A and B are shown apart, each in its own frame.
Chain A
Amino acid sequence: MRSFLLRRTGAALVALWLASVIVFFGVRALPGDAALALAGEERDPQSLAEIREKYGLNDPVPVQYLRWAGLVLRGDLGESVRTGLSVSDTIIDKLPITLELAVLSVLMAVLIGIPTGMIAAARRGGPADYVSNGIGLAGLSIPNFWLGLVLILLFAIRVEVFPASGYVPFLQDPIGNLYHMILPAFVLGTALAAVIMRQMRSSMLESLDTDYVRTARAKGLSEWSVIGRHAFRNSLITVVTVIGLQLGGLISGAVVTEQIFVIPGFGNLIVSAVFQRDLPMIQGAVLVAAAGYIVVNLLVDIVYSLLNPRIRIAGGAA
């Protein structure tokens, strides 16, 4: 077990380091001179030279990388070249907003996905199965940026039920905050709900087929209590894993959703940093996202291997 942990953690660290290299060099491969982006209308040669000097853009890229890596190892992500504010502080400011959005959308996905998945499995082949399957596929197929636009049109412009956009800090106004978050969380949650629903259905079908469920049925337990007590509990593990695996989709989705609903979160931060060529900000934010993803996957792997030692022997992360 210890060697597995060490190996797996080592691999994660290597991946993280490589990710930092990819981000750093990738950001510099973006077309358009970062100094020009920063200069705005003051883009005379003198101003550009001042900017290049101030931010060390004249140095060879590997030198710039080492300087940045040195800072990062000391826990400092540098300063935004655009606002002059600390990158880490800015990220710490934005992250909770996106996390809230993510948590709400997972909640929404679970509330929609699990019951529909269960019903579909229990009524396999029946109309309920068809309907929920259809909804599930629709959820997977609908582009969330369009869904966002349609919901804004329906519920914010035609019928003014929800605000079209914006954000109110939770601590300042909890109700207003949730009110602003409902549509975005729904938009972000649909795809995940569809995945959960499909996963729930298939794993329920599988467990409904197992011996102990058959035994339980033979004991005369009602169908719903069989489903509720046995099959449901078994399927839950799968669903939790699915949510873990969908983390990447959730991050991508958050970027888009925040754009549409103008939520000043982490995704918006990355997008505007890219358009402004705020290199330290892009690097910091993307590195944090990658680190989050790598850490979560490492934890999933470890938990999995604790639950199921065979994975360790097979030696592979699923």
Chain B
Amino acid sequence: MLVTLPVLAVTACSGEPASAPSGSDSGTDSQDSAQADRPAAQGGEMVVALAEEPDALDPSLARTFVGRIVFANMCEKLYDTNADLEVVPQLAAELPEISEDGTTVTIPIREGIQFNDGTELDAAAVKTSLERHQNITGSARTSELAPVQSVEVVDPLTVRLQLSQPFAPLTAVLADRSGMIMSPAQLDKLGENFADDPVCVGPFEFVERRAGDAIVLERAENYYDADQVNLDRVTFSIIAQGPVRAANLRSGEVDVAERLDTTSLQEIEADPNLRLTAATSIGYQGITINVGNVRGVNQPFGQRDAPLASDPRIREAFELSLDRETINQVVFNGRYQPGCSPLSPDSPFQPADLECSERDVEAARALLEEAGVQTPVPVELMLSTDPVTLRLGQVIQEMAKEVGFAVKVRPTEFVTSLDLADQGKFDTFQIGWSGRIDPDGNIFDFHHSDGPLNYSGAHDPEVDELLVQARTTIDMAERQQLYADVIDAITQRRNIIYLYHENLFTGMGADVVGLEFYGDGLLRLKTAGFAAD
């Protein structure tokens, strides 16, 4: 299996412009990479630069994406995701067996597995962890496990979940933190302070954590697959600034750096001692338009008198004013994937025939005229304050201006912007989603009338019906069709205008081998090591 997806090298441009936008060919084109397939030597310490500080290392409480990168190496789950973004068994022996009515889910557990502290993994341990996920105060798992009504130990290696209704995303949910099983012995010892010294099943075990600085893991002796593991030690070093992660990678202070800025890529590609891999994120970025959120999310909807909210033709004109390709070129040096869907282009649920609208100034103007709205049409765009997003906002502003929109950019600190979005105090909001493996996780909460993240205040019984059907249908082909219908409907509704999918760039030393990295953005270091020669 090809695990790393090297990017085509883009040669630096000489001459006047410091950085001519490079080609858009930098996506996930796979290229045979002999380099990455060299055998690894035993031992060594790998230093991995993370872009953010993880939160509590407790699978029940953890909420950050970056925390999942650490967990991926010390807390295995019932299920995992493979390079094709399919769910595969990890601690479970097989995919779950789902009853005819979809409400009984039986999960067989692998035999002979020990937690990193030597305790046996059995059905009782699974039950303990799942119930803790549901019940502990402060849990971040209650919502995704809400359909699970009870967990039953059938025999030492089988658990059975009773659901209140069929819930297709469950397997994917169990391939994330909800599926992480914690050592019951350690839970007895630490209780709610499990994060002080987390013990799970994993290729590495927790050693120490220095706040704001580093998290250190060590090879786990009790791991069932220990002979696959090469490294003795993994240090996650927290380096929030993108250019600094890149600089430290170049200077060799770190071996691997995740989520590099598009502006740092050229110099890394040019460096013979470094290698770059990329994967298209399973998430998306877009503009959420407030169409009916006047009193706050999950409050009664209302009619806003802002132009974009009042007429779908104006929203369409707005979308037609934007050129996704130029956005990609100017803002991201052509390194991302323009897109118009909530799903990653690599998702098995992505409709094959989906085509994004092209920029069309004339058509957009015609639509505005048809809608009888007075130009310039005022639009307020709330976005976060980091330089790249600001750049994005200004490009959108310029493009929309040509059609007749007066976009006012309103940079807002991220937490504040979430608060305003939640209260419905915004016109449009540039925000994205890091993505979930199951399509439900990228769509339902944002588009269902009662969705907790339905910032746009969209409400349409037909879409709601489709969404519920899609999450309770188990058959793959049927689900694919349902999601194609959903995407069609929300594209027409335009309460969220999807713009692009990020490519996640991970840089590493040329001697780093065996690192698995794909669209979910996690760094799986189980088989990673330094090249033997």
Contacts and interface: CB of A to CB of B under 8 A. Distances in A.
Interface of A: 31-33, 36-47, 50-51, 53-55, 80, 82-85, 89-90, 93-94, 156, 163-166, 262, 264, 268-269, 272, 275, 277
Given A37-B415, A166-B253, 6 more contacts: A40-B55, A41-B64, A45-B298, A50-B140, A83-B55, A166-B239
Contacts of A82: 53, 55-56
A268 B419 contact: no
A50 B416 contact: no
B139 interface: yes
A40 B414 CA distance: 10
Contacts of A84: 55-56, 58, 61, 193, 195-196
A42 B140 contact: yes
Most buried by B among A32, A41, A50, A272: A41
Contacts of A39: 63, 140
26 contacts: A31-B419, A33-B418, A33-B419, A36-B415, A37-B415, A40-B63, A40-B64, A41-B65, A43-B418, A44-B445, A45-B298, A46-B143, A47-B63, A54-B137, A54-B138, A83-B54, A84-B193, A84-B196, A85-B211, A93-B211, A164-B244, A165-B244, A166-B253, A262-B240, A272-B212, A275-B414
A36 B422 contact: yes
Contacts, number: 122
B434 A51 contact: no
B53 A53 contact: no
B143 A44 contact: yes
A269 B210 CA distance: 12
A32 B138 contact: no
A262 B138 contact: no
A38 B412 CA distance: 17
A163 B251 contact: yes
Contacts of A50: 137-140, 142
Contacts of A40: 55, 63-65
B247 interface: yes
A17 B53 CA distance: 32
Nearest to B61: A84
A51 B211 CA distance: 21
A275 B56 contact: no
A94 B212 contact: yes
B413 A38 contact: no
Contact of B138 (A45, A53, A89): A53
Interface string B423-448: 00000000001100000000001000
Most buried by B among A37, A54, A165: A165
A163 B247 CA distance: 9
Contact of A272 (B53, B61, B195, B418): B53
Interface of B: 53-56, 58, 61, 63-65, 137-140, 142-143, 146, 193, 195-196, 209-213, 238-241, 244, 247-248, 251, 253, 298, 413-416, 418-419, 422, 433-434, 445, 452-453
B278 to A, nearest CB: 22
Contacts of B196: 84
Contacts of B140: 39, 42, 47, 50
B255 to A, nearest CB: 15
B240 A272 contact: yes
B56 A83 contact: yes
Contacts of B137: 50, 53-54
B6 to A, nearest CB: 26
Given A41-B434, A83-B211, A163-B251, A46 B142 contact: yes
A273 to B, nearest CB: 9
Contacts of A45: 298, 452
Contacts of B419: 31-33, 36
A51 B60 CA distance: 12
B318 to A, nearest CB: 26
A84 B138 CA distance: 12
A91 to B, nearest CB: 9
Given A47-B142, A90-B212, A275 B413 contact: yes
Contacts of B213: 93, 264
A80 B211 contact: yes
A262 B244 CA distance: 8
A43 B61 CA distance: 12
A268 B211 CA distance: 11
Leading 8 A-B pairs by shortest Cβ distance = A54-B138, A32-B415, A44-B452, A84-B56, A40-B63, A32-B416, A42-B140, A37-B415
Contact of B146 (A46, A55, A264): A46
A44, A84, A164, most chain B CB atoms within 10 A: A84
Contacts of A38: 55, 63
B240 A47 contact: no
Contact of A166 (B55, B138, B244, B453): B244
B413 A32 contact: yes
Contacts of B142: 46-47, 50
A40 B251 CA distance: 32
Given A84-B193, A272-B53, A47 B64 contact: no
Contacts of A93: 210-211, 213
A156 B251 CA distance: 11
Nearest to A268: B212
Contacts of B434: 41
Contacts of A262: 239-241, 244
Among B65, B211, B238, find the residue whose CB has the most chain A CB atoms closer than 10 A: B211
Nearest to B417: A32
Contacts of A32: 413, 415-416, 418-419
Contacts of A47: 63, 139-140, 142-143
B517 to A, nearest CB: 20
Nearest to A281: B211
Contacts of A269: 211-212
Contacts of A55: 138
Contacts of A41: 63-65, 433-434
A165 B247 contact: yes
Contact of B209 (A42, A85, A268, A275): A85
A41 B56 CA distance: 15
Contacts of B244: 164-166, 262
A47 to B, nearest CB: 5
B241 A36 contact: no
Contacts of A46: 142-143, 146, 452
A293 to B, nearest CB: 22
A55 B54 CA distance: 19
Nearest to A38: B63
A1 B140 CA distance: 58
